[in-house]
Amino acid sequence: MLRSIVTASAVALAISMAGCGSLPSGSGSAGASAAEPPRPGQPPPNVLAAEVSWMKQLFEGTPVAIVAESDGAMRVDVPLDFSFDARSSSPKPPLRAVMDKVAQTLARQPSAKVHVGTPGPPARIAAMRKYLTQRGVIGLRVVGLSAPPGDAVTLRVVPGPIAIDRLEDQSLPAPTHAFPASRGKS
């Protein structure tokens, strides 16, 4: 009887020890192949995802196109017919409504910039910059682009760098030629 209790105890101990040596399910090498975190100071790739969703809901059913780009930017395309009159640099009300919402996005994303581009004279970009600055956007955050392809006005909201809260050595790039290989004695 004592022998069977000792044997049962040894088997139970062996089973429990085997359980300690194995990894929990879901924490194997599959987790290591997940997307790597962004480099220090770079925004996460989906920082504007909520803004894209918000803008799509606002302009659903209109000719305004909102696209989330692969680099994390949000592109807003407004057809030229709804943006400017033929020989005018003054934005039409539909474009002003879009720029109002872009200004709200920039207020919520303090490090983002907006790149604006429009077919036609450069005075249109200047008018768009002026309109956005009147809505509280700092002029340095509005970047003029060359004429976008097609016949649409493009506003591209680009996430900016973020503050670095914590920096670890392994996240820094390897130094290259930081110090000369040998120094001459003086």
Does CATH number 3.30.1330.60 belong to domain 63-158? yes
DSSP state of 161: -
Please tell me the predicted confidence (pLDDT) of residue 150.
Answer: 78
- Highest mean pLDDT range out of 19-28, 121-130, 138-147, 157-166? 121-130
E strand spans, 27-178: 65-68, 74-79, 113-117, 142-144, 152-158
Residue 63 pLDDT class (50, 70, 90 cuts): very high
Please tell me the predicted confidence (pLDDT) of residue 29.
Answer: 45
Structure confidence by residue, pLDDT tens digits, 93-150:
999 999 999 999 999 999 999 999 999 899 999 999 999 999 999 999 999 987 666 7
Residue ranges per structural domain of the chain: 63-158
Q: pTM of this prediction?
A: 0.65
Helices 123-134 and 93-108 pack at an angle, to 10 degrees, of: 50
